[in-house]
């Protein structure tokens, strides 16, 4: 007689200081037979909506939570019944325990393997039961949040493509400290998948494991060092917070009014709040704006459509004009050092595009946008915004901007006092393009007018410099033919 073993899958360590995830939807139901690494739910983190794969195979006997609930790290997600003979081989268990001791615990994505047999693996639960308070979760010690960042250490450069790559994904590199060749290995498929899902190149990660192996802790530290929009583990933990002071339970009253409902902030909203709060707290911002006659651009755009194709978007055209102006005003796409004692000018622009999505504001990034043509910018914009709105965008595509463009005209508004996307030092907003009376050569005519607003860090430049940049963008919009040579 075979006795079923019930495995409880608990939400693993999310990495990067995150302590919870929102349950978007279940992809399985009680009674379903699932395989190892089969996606069982979609969960929302501060990065994006991701599928949560099961580390166990068997029959689903219980689901914990409803769509919309928030699940803390260590809390049960689902239970799986499997035969007693379904245990993983002892050597595989030992390999996992060795890696567990070297790393920071399980992670949200990348802890399963796609090539493993149907047998599940037993894991030591993170906690015995659901934590009684958010503080209990926030206080949990993880390597991703407690170990020093590795950003000060330089990763060994990769060797030429002819270098050998073994079956474990180990790629020979040169140890820049010792000056001798050694192998940096990614021996575990768990680690390889984690690095891939986080958009990291394992060859750039500093290994700390035995025999030069990259561990999960190494991958998580690299992810923290490049956290989205500069929000690191401390900021993510600090955004978790308990119930705000002054709120009461459902059914109570607040300032004489009945409380209709209470909605817990999503992980994405908390991460955005941390970034925006930091921006307002640290940056002495100033704003300049101007009304621009976009009639010539509006008319010229229709002539840019290729045969059997569509014309580039106005956002793509304005983005190209902004990049031309930034090449002439590089301070507005620079960075401040951590102590604000130096202005760091960069060779090029990573252009962030503010996108309104069902999950909230996101800023996907077009890397090295200055090197792209209008057609390439248009294609990149369409891909980025589509992925951002679907929730499938990779975390790597949400970080590293050096200047942000916000076309809030698509929301039907004319202007906005935008908040700078830290650590950027400026953001340009575009209002809707509407027909308005305009004076041309002494006569009032109908023209297509839009408002541009530039918010900039006054520590980096003064108003005259910012105004010069805005005048240049305005000139290119009003006289697009002058930019065609650069487009």
Q: Can you say how many angstroms the Cα of residue 239 is from the centroid of all Cα atoms in its chain? A: 16
CA–CA gap between residue 451 and residue 431 (Å, rounded):
5
Which among 473, 433, 480 is positioned nearest to 456, based on CA atoms?
473
Helices (H) and strands (E) in the chain, counts: 11, 23
Cα–Cα separations (whole angstroms), residue 446 to 303, 318, 434, 473: 21, 22, 10, 22
What H or E segment, with its residue span, contains residue 326? helix 314-328
CA–CA gap between residue 185 and residue 311 (Å, rounded):
48
Mark 106-123 as b/e (b = at least 16 C-beta within 10 Å).
bbbbbbbbeebeebbbeb
CA–CA gap between residue 97 and residue 188 (Å, rounded):
12
Q: SS3 for 449?
A: strand
Q: Can you say how many angstroms the Cα of residue 79 is from the centroid of all Cα atoms in its chain? A: 30
Are the CB atoms for 317 and 374 separated by under 8 Å? Answer: yes
Are the CB atoms for 48 and 390 separated by under 8 Å? Answer: no
Which among 371, 374, 357, 398 is positioned nearest to 319, based on CA atoms?
374
Has 458 been annotated as catalytic? Answer: yes
* DSSP letters for 238-290: HTT--SPTT---TT-EETTEE-----PPPHHHHHHHHHHHHHHHH--EEEEEE
Q: SS3 for 451?
A: strand
Residue given tokens 């962030």 in the structure block: 352
Residues facing residue 295 across a β-bridge: none
CA–CA gap between residue 250 and residue 246 (Å, rounded):
13
**Beta-carbon count within 10 A of 363 CB:** 25
Q: Is it true that the peptide bond before 423 is cis, omega within 30 degrees of 0?
A: yes
* CA quadruple 265, 268, 273, 276: dihedral, nearest 10: -160
Burial of residue 165, with CB atoms counted within 10 A of its CB: 0-12 exposed, 13-18 middle, 19 or more buried: exposed
The catalytic residue among 329, 422, 458, 479 is 458
- Cα R_g (the chain), whole angstroms: 26
Are the CB atoms for 119 and 42 separated by under 8 Å? Answer: no
Q: Can you say how many angstroms the Cα of residue 317 is from the centroid of all Cα atoms in its chain? A: 25
Residues classed as catalytic: 458
């Amino acid at each position: 007689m075979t006795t079923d073993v019930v495995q409880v899958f608990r939400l693993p360590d999310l990495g990067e200081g995150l302590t919870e995830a929102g349950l978007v939807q279940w992809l399985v139901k009680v009674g379903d037979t699932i395989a190892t690494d089969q996606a069982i739910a979609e969960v929302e983190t501060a990065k994006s909506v991701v599928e949560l794969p099961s580390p166990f195979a068997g029959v689903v006997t219980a689901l914990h939570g409803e769509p919309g609930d928030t699940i803390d790290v260590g809390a049960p997600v689902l239970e799986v019944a499997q035969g007693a003979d379904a245990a993983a081989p002892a050597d595989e268990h030992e390999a996992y325990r060795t890696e567990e001791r070297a790393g920071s615990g399980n992670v949200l994505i990348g802890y399963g393997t796609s090539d493993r047999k149907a047998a599940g693996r037993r894991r030591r639960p993170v906690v015995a039961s659901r934590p009684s308070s958010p503080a209990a979760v926030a206080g949990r010690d993880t390597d991703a949040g407690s170990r020093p960042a590795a950003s000060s250490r330089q990763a060994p450069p990769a060797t030429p493509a002819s270098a050998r790559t073994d079956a474990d994904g180990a790629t020979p590199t040169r140890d820049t400290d010792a000056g001798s060749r050694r192998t940096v290995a990614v021996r575990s498929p768990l680690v390889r998948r984690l690095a891939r899902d986080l958009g990291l190149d394992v060859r750039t990660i500093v290994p700390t494991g035995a025999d030069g192996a990259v561990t999960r802790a190494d991958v998580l530290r690299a992810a923290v060092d490049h956290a989205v929009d500069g929000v690191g583990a401390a900021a993510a933990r600090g955004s978790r917070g308990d119930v705000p002071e002054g709120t009461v339970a459902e059914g109570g009253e607040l300032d004489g009014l009945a409380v209709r409902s209470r909605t817990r902030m999503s992980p994405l909203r908390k991460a955005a709040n941390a970034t925006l709060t930091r921006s307002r707290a640290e940056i002495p911002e100033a704003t300049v704006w101007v009304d621009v006659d976009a009639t010539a651009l509006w008319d010229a755009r229709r002539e840019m459509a290729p045969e059997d194709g569509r014309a580039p978007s106005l956002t793509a055209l304005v983005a190209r004009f902004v990049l031309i102006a930034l090449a002439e005003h590089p301070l507005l796409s620079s960075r401040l050092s951590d102590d604000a004692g130096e202005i760091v000018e960069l060779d090029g622009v990573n252009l962030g595009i503010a996108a309104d999505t069902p999950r909230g504001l996101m800023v996907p990034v077009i890397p090295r946008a200055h090197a792209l043509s209008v057609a390439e910018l248009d294609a990149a914009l369409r891909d980025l915004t589509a992925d951002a709105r679907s929730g499938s965008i990779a975390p790597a595509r949400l970080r590293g901007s050096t200047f942000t463009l916000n076309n809030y005209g698509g929301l039907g508004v004319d202007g906005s006092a935008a908040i700078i996307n830290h650590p950027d030092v400026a953001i340009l907003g575009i209002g809707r393009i509407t027909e308005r009376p305009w004076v041309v050569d002494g006569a009032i005519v109908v023209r297509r007018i839009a408002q541009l607003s530039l918010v900039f860090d006054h520590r980096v430049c003064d108003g005259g410099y910012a105004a010069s940049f805005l005048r240049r963008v305005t000139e290119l919009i009003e006289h697009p033919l002058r930019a065609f040579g650069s487009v």
